[in-house]
Chains A and B, each alone.
Chain A
Amino acid sequence: MVALDKSEVREGVDRETIETVKAMSGTYKYGWNTEIETEYAPKGVNEDIVRLISEKNGEPEWMTDWRLKAFRRWEQMEEPKWAMLNYPKIDYQDQYYYAKPKSMAEKPKSLDDVDPALLATYEKLGIPLKEQMILAGVEGAAETPAEGRRVAVDAVFDSVSVGTTFKEELKKAGVIFMSISEAIREHPELVKKYLGSVVPQSDNFFATLNSAVFSDGSFVYIPPGVRCPMELSTYFRINAENTGQFERTLIIADKGSYVSYLEGCTAPKRDVAQLHAAVVEIVILEDAEVKYSTVQNWFPGDAEGKGGIYNFVTKRADCREARAKVMWTQVETGSAITWKYPSCLLRGDDSQGEFYSIAIANNMQQADTGTKMTHLGKNTRSRIVSKGISAGKAQNTYRGLVSVHPKATGARNYTQCDSLLIGDKCGAHTVPYIEVKNNSSRVEHEATTSKVDDDQLFYCRSRGMDEEEAVALVVNGFCKEVLQALPMEFAMEAQSLVAISLEGSVG
């Protein structure tokens, strides 16, 4: 399926890995569902549900009040309509806002106590949660191509965090990595200080809903001067039916620290669309750096556009102090609807924001995604590289804002948005906003739209590739700049996903 034999494989990637990736063919691979008893809160959302979620998480009063304030605000708000997305009206009262595996009624003390069905779920997803197995190299070795690379995982299943790996080892380094529900209990001072400081409660319709009903998510604190000893990751799995997932991630990189964070997500195939509205807040202090990589592979719905995840996500990084640096990398292949604009607030002088994105929309998928770069500090720099690929009857929109404020002298932005169309029934759109309010800043924007080059296809075909392989190879080449920005394991996964997502788009 994937034209890996012919493509250049990076050094350090062994044959076995390639085979594994090659095996990832077929249509949506993660569409199975785990048979597990689930405990639901009543359907719909109201103040009682908000209180119930807060109570289930054992939250202090200030947190409950914070949620209620958001909920009251949300009731006043209207769903935004400006994106180039068409979907049936969402009935917010016809969803479950809280679903938890029954076996999680008592929070497991360690990973050994976690329900084997849950562990099996993650293993099947290629996310081994048992540290000893990872360490022994028994399981999941194929998924970790480079030896010795370990990734700590926080696994979120429907509304709750199932477990977090390598907690002890991270603790030694001073890194706090736990579910946000635990963090609210164990580190209220940090949560209180930073929660909502990047994405305020009333930021937008979906973020406000999230502020009211978020059930879990991940919390990361990297203390001053610490380089996080391993990559951190969160894996989101929606399993229950008619259930929305609302997770909240808060990452704080204190002065001079560094962390690379990965996020993955999948959901079972279902006929009915499901809602996902997440918020990710990142606070970056002086000289710190955060890399945030996402491979979004929610169920995209079937070829007729039935089912799939409606993905409304607010992600924002605040480079609060001088020389702070953030890099967003996203590979968006899943979801029926994507509404997502990971943004950078460049407040500190000399701070830097980067956004690398591949968005693939096939069949009936619709994606409206991009970024916002807000230059507030002096000599701030930003770079945007966006690659949009449309196939089938899909619509793919890049929407972005580069704003250079009058005081942000000496700022620099470079934006490149390329779109590729495969087939004459799809659409590719570019909607960039550029606001430059001083003259010492330099802003450049370039965009192109084209189809897969016939000459390149012909060349590949003449070398014996079938048409789908050839398209996959050309598309991978088109995305190369972004794929290179991903951590290696992700790059491999993303590369194969590119091919899988485009399956059936040719001929």
Chain B
Amino acid sequence: MALAQAKRAATEARLEGLSLPASGAWLAQARGAALARLSEMGLPGRRDEYWRWTDPTTLAAAEAPAAALFDDGGERPAFDKIDRVTLVFVDGVFDAAASDDPAAAEVEITRLAEAGAQDIHWAKDLYGALEARGQAPVARPFAALNTAIATDGVLIRATGKAAKPVSLVYRHASETSDAILHHCVKLEEGAELTLLESGPGAARFSTVLEVEVGDGAAFHHIRTQGRDHERRVAAHLFARLGAESRFKTFTLTANGVLTRNETVVELTGDDSVAHIAGAAMGDGGFHHDDTVFITHDAERCESRQVFKKVLMNGAEGIFQGKILVKPGAQKTDGYQISQSLLLDERSQFLAKPELEIYADDVQCSHGSTSGAIDETALYYLRSRGVPERAAQALLVQAFLAQTIEEIEDEALSEDIRTRLEAWLARRLG
């Protein structure tokens, strides 16, 4: 009881002084419903089982803790060699001057700020809808908060194959910025789209991405979360998959004092495929939490989770991944692997790989390992004249390689690989 009261007080404190942004009818309704959900569940506290290993206090606080700006030393921006349509948000505010003309992607792109002012919009069936579905069986209060108060984001609808990837670039320009963006992507039957996200976004950054993948459609998503050490992120990705559709997402995280990436995927059409992968590298004050929930609710679907973390100097890596196979979801193929490489005695890896299965004709497996660099392999490389740190870097690269292989597009996987190698060279070179 006391706990519920404390929760209510914390939620009220967070919402105090916040008013729902003025919106058109469809959006006002979605925001109101999200606020009601949030009031019902309350913001999480340290005692919440779903936040067992990640302290949500700074994400829930009314004021965002300051985060110093990070000088990346002129590193070339992510995806700069990819022919793409770039939309830039600086501390959560759209920067038209820095952005490309969205029309070049040959898909329908509207900003939430514009669409939300209208009385009716196609996004009304999607905005907040997948987030609401994703609230059971486990509450995701920060996503509901996002739906209620996000002022901007992009709404993308594709009916065919997009001409170019859409690239959302998030810049962090103010030490105390607190940004909330909410995006919706709707792929009609047979449509194809690649969505790129990059950058830290703000001192405290909340994103919700809702993706409806229609029958036979394909969605690719590659994300890098910037290298700012002090930034905090709560990112939610909700996806619903139609029959014979494909969904692939990959996230690269290097640095960051707090990252919580929640991915909630529901396979509702037969023969659909979902791949979720992530590579995280952290040094020192680094806390990275991958929380994944896959629901199989159709026959012959495949889901695959591949997560790897390299942790050093007291960095903390969390993995909470669940595969839920509903009754009747026969011939499900579910796979999950979570691994961490701990480069020193102080780093930690905490994992909860879960299976909940109500259908009998399924193949589901998960594996999780944690340990130091293989001494034998290291010795082998050293005996071949490779200097110790270079040998370490090589083995770390090999360890992370499996996640990058999840990226289909070669140019994109090359981009990610280069960034990863650069990070390793700075740390271990």
* A contact set with B: CB distance below 8 Å: 82, 84, 406, 409, 419, 421-451
Does residue B356 face the partner (Cβ distance < 8 Å to A)? yes
Q: Which of B355, B363, B371 contacts A441 (CB 8 A)?
A: B371
B348-387 interface (Cβ within 8 A of A): 348-372
Count of B interface residues, CB-CB < 8 Å: 36
Q: A422-B360, A434-B370, A445-B367 are in contact. Are A439 and B342 (CB under 8 A)?
A: yes
Does residue B346 face the partner (Cβ distance < 8 Å to A)? yes
A432 touches B361 (CB 8 A): no
B370 touches A442 (CB 8 A): yes
A439 touches B330 (CB 8 A): no
Does residue B48 face the partner (Cβ distance < 8 Å to A)? no
Question: Chain A: which residue is nearest B361 at the CB level?
Answer: A451
Once the chains are docked, how many angstroms separate the CA of A428 from the CA of B365?
A: 12
Question: Chain B: which residue is nearest A397 at the CB level?
Answer: B356
Once the chains are docked, how many angstroms separate the CA of A432 from the CA of B342?
A: 20
Q: Sorted from nearest, which 9 A-B pairs have the closest CB atoms?
A: A439-B342, A421-B360, A442-B371, A430-B355, A436-B370, A445-B368, A434-B351, A449-B364, A439-B372
A434 touches B360 (CB 8 A): no
Q: Cβ of A451: which chain B residues have Cβ within 8 Å of it?
A: 360-362
Does residue B405 face the partner (Cβ distance < 8 Å to A)? no
Question: Chain A: which residue is nearest B345 at the CB level?
Answer: A438
Question: Other than the known A421-B360, A430-B353, A441-B370, what 14 A-B pairs have Cβ atoms closer than 8 Å?
Answer: A406-B345, A424-B328, A424-B361, A425-B327, A426-B358, A427-B357, A434-B351, A439-B344, A439-B345, A441-B371, A443-B369, A443-B370, A447-B365, A450-B362
Once the chains are docked, how many angstroms separate the CA of A422 from the CA of B361?
A: 9
Q: Cβ of A433: which chain B residues have Cβ within 8 Å of it?
A: 350-352
Q: A442-B370, A445-B367 are in contact. Are A428 and B354 (CB under 8 A)?
A: no
Q: Cβ of B353: which chain A residues have Cβ within 8 Å of it?
A: 430, 432, 434, 445, 447
Contact with A along B31-60 (1 / 0, CB 8 A): 000000000000000000100000000000
Q: Cβ of A450: which chain B residues have Cβ within 8 Å of it?
A: 362-364
List 13 A-B residue pairs with CB atoms under 8 Å apart, sorted by A's residue number.
Answer: A409-B345, A421-B357, A427-B358, A428-B357, A429-B354, A432-B352, A434-B351, A434-B352, A436-B340, A438-B342, A438-B346, A445-B351, A448-B364
B356 touches A429 (CB 8 A): yes
Q: How far is the CB of A134 from chain B (nearest CB, A)?
A: 45
Main secondary structure of the interface of B (DSSP, over half): strand
* B contact set with A: CB distance below 8 Å: 49, 327-328, 330, 340, 342-372
B371 touches A443 (CB 8 A): yes
A448 touches B357 (CB 8 A): no
Question: Chain B: which residue is nearest A395 at the CB level?
Answer: B358
A437 touches B348 (CB 8 A): yes
A436 touches B348 (CB 8 A): yes
Q: Cβ of B359: which chain A residues have Cβ within 8 Å of it?
A: 421, 424
B356 touches A427 (CB 8 A): yes
Q: Cβ of A422: which chain B residues have Cβ within 8 Å of it?
A: 360
A424 touches B356 (CB 8 A): no
Q: Cβ of B365: which chain A residues have Cβ within 8 Å of it?
A: 446-449
Question: Chain B: which residue is nearest A413 at the CB level?
Answer: B370
Once the chains are docked, how many angstroms separate the CA of A437 from the CA of B352?
A: 15
B364 touches A432 (CB 8 A): no
Once the chains are docked, how many angstroms separate the CA of A314 from the CA of B164?
A: 60
Q: How far is the CB of A361 from chain B (nearest CB, A)?
A: 13
Once the chains are docked, how many angstroms separate the CA of A57 from the CA of B218?
A: 72
Question: Chain A: which residue is nearest B371 at the CB level?
Answer: A442
A436 touches B342 (CB 8 A): yes
Once the chains are docked, how many angstroms separate the CA of A446 from the CA of B368?
A: 7
A424 touches B360 (CB 8 A): yes
A436 touches B356 (CB 8 A): no
Q: Cβ of A427: which chain B residues have Cβ within 8 Å of it?
A: 356-358
B342 touches A82 (CB 8 A): no
B361 touches A439 (CB 8 A): no
Interface centre among B49, B358, B361, B362 (most CB of A within 10 A): B358
B327 touches A424 (CB 8 A): yes
B354 touches A430 (CB 8 A): yes
Q: How far is the CB of A444 from chain B (nearest CB, A)?
A: 5
B343 touches A431 (CB 8 A): no
Q: How far is the CB of B129 from chain A (nearest CB, A)?
A: 28
Q: Which of A425, A430, A436 contacts B350 (CB 8 A)?
A: A436
Q: How far is the CB of B297 from chain A (nearest CB, A)?
A: 14
